[in-house]
Chain A
Amino acid sequence: MAAGSLFLTQFNWSAFINALVLGLSIASIWLIAALGLTIIYGAAGVINMAHGELIMLGAYSTYTLQTSFGIPFLLCIPLSFLIVGAIGLLLERVLIRYLYKRPLDTMLATFGVSLVLIQGTRIIFGSSPKYVDVPEFLSGSLEIGFVNIATVRILIFVVTVAVCVALWFLFFRSRFGIQVRAVTQEKEMAASFGVNSGRVYMMTFALGAGLAGLAGAILCAMATVLPTMGGNYLVPSFLVVVVGGGALAGSVAAGVGTGELQSIFAYFTNDTFARFVLFILIVVFLRLRPQGLFAPSAKRR
């Protein structure tokens, strides 16, 4: 009892709540990085090892648009979505579409793509870090009660929520969404009902790549732009997809769960140890629930 009350008196509530809010921010970062991966994996069964590099391309396209064409930061976000989406479309047409039947080989081929993208970027832009100018209101921080949070984190959170809602509408309220879900569940059957499955895969891949570009554009507001920056996002976003089971709702739940846990563990220990504990927990979790939180009704590939 004495130990408990000691714990309560020493326990710093305001710092803990700050940690929870930070966890929500980490969750939104991991989630926005993982959304594109979720869609590509969920719909086409392709594991895109170059996803981190597509995020990196998004960051570099924002940097280029801003420094060479003077386009304001907020406008760069949708433009990066379009640019990287177009790159994804090209990638799908040239390479990925030949590998849908070989899921392990897509991992390898996309790893080759990531090597090419990193080195290509390094040749074009050099390996020195680049910084993106953000508008005045994004560089400060906001204080609500005893919670203190950087405005840029709020922006990322808001964009993540908006993108999730938009994706939900796209997948569950549009004709394209019905086609994607039909192809995901049963490709042959969907094809016999006149759905052009090749085209659906192509558009989903482009959409996923575009989302990576969007993530890169928004994340470079708080990260340094480097050719190797994609590596930082690859593992967390993979884990979000694996824990979530490849469904959109699963990724949202997994993103919030892992982000909060990371922040809470980090509050009690430190960042690296928190990450280690989190990964061990994920392994244990997968032992108990290998299909993830929300396995899609589709057949397992």
Chain B
Amino acid sequence: MNLFHNVRAQWLAYAVFFIVLALVPLFVGDDVFLLNQLSMYGVYAMLALGISLCWGFGGILNLGQGIPFGLGAYGMAMTMQMQTQDEYNPMPPFMLNNSLTELPWFWVPFGNTTVGIILSIAIPALFCAIFGWTMFRARVSGPFFAIMTLAMLSAIGTLFLGMQPYTNGANGLSPPRSLQLGELTVDPYSPGSYWVVFGLLLIATVIAKLMTLSRSGLVARSIRNDAERVRFLGYNVAAYETMIYTVSGIFAAVAGACMVVLSQYVSPDQFDPTFSLMMVVWAGIGGRMSLLAAMLGAFLIQGGQSYLGDELDATWYLFLGTFFILVVRFLPKGLVGLVESGLGRIRIGSKRNDGDSAASEVSLNPQPGA
């Protein structure tokens, strides 16, 4: 039995991961800008988590993760923008510049902070449910689904870019004040917001992990391996696919909302296809089959971009592209595949099958000495 597939060992790895992350603000000290930047890595990790759940476990390659991300981000930005408006001054300044005379109806609910926050998660979730159900019921899957998500992303991006009077077009929204929750002001440069972001990441990770361990997670993994066979066994494949796609979309929406709280800025760039593809690159390089590895992949690539990106400058994307091609070509399971095969060489006494690997995978990769 490979230690890599031992569920108890996996939970231990997650625990270590989050404990280390929770301790980070204690070592950062007074550099609040660094702390803000590190909080942003929680957002990236949440996006990678969604991709890993959707693509690694459900087999649904989603190149449009930017849709729920961007919708969630715009929802939160609208909420924060409306917090700075009052009865004498009911409309954001950019609308006045675009000669609107009254607040558009879809901005009105965001005037209430609670409703606004709920909507910024609910709207992307509803979008994913409807779009996913439409596509999966038609049995659009694999590369075709990936293309449709990409097309949808591009469509929504152009829409937000084009509706200048309602979304401020290419300039995006930059709410002038931090998020107010009741009497509390959420300071994006405080350890508090760091812990909130990573607390949300922890909750999302536990939900995702429990989903993959559950019975429906098993069905989802079987769909990844052979959707047709699962359908013949009487499962409603489209429902499972829609569920997993929607949950992953909710994670992305939460990530989007967190991003706006941290950066106080959103623009149609969130819908840029390259950014959505980059999320897939994080998960692909880290290892899409493992939630933890996908998150570490996001840290690795984004960290590399921030630190190596300055030094390598122009050659960074050249380097990243080449690296990604090599990983796809030689390590389909990502870098964590190396860890998996490394741990596979270590014999451990336990012969219990903890059931993290689908039966088909076990028979395909017999472990020597297991």
Contacts and interface: CB of A to CB of B under 8 A. Distances in A.
Given A102-B332, A109-B325, A275-B158, A290 B140 contact: yes
Interface stretch (B172-180, B259-267, B277-285, B340-348): B277-285
Contact of A283 (B135, B159, B315, B318): B135
18 contacts: A105-B328, A105-B332, A109-B328, A111-B280, A112-B321, A115-B321, A116-B321, A123-B315, A231-B274, A235-B150, A238-B147, A242-B148, A242-B151, A275-B158, A278-B155, A280-B155, A290-B138, A290-B144
B158 A276 contact: yes
Minimum-distance CB pairs A-B, first 4: A272-B162, A115-B321, A279-B155, A112-B325
A272 B163 CA distance: 9
Interface of A: 47, 49, 95, 98-99, 102-105, 107-109, 111-116, 118-120, 122-123, 231, 234-235, 238-239, 242, 270-273, 275-276, 278-280, 282-284, 286-288, 290
Interface of B is mostly: helix
B122 interface: no
B138 A108 contact: no
Given A235-B150, A283-B148, A290-B139, A112 B328 contact: yes
B158 A239 contact: no
A116 B324 CA distance: 10
B328 A108 contact: yes
A278 B134 CA distance: 16
A107 B325 CA distance: 11
B18 to A, nearest CB: 29
Given A109-B329, A287-B134, A290-B140, A276 B324 contact: no
Given A104-B61, A235-B150, A118 B317 contact: yes
Contacts of B258: none
Nearest to B63: A107
A195 B293 CA distance: 43
A269 to B, nearest CB: 10
Given A105-B328, A272-B161, A286 B148 contact: yes
Given A113-B321, A276-B155, A283-B152, A119 B61 contact: no
A128 B339 CA distance: 44
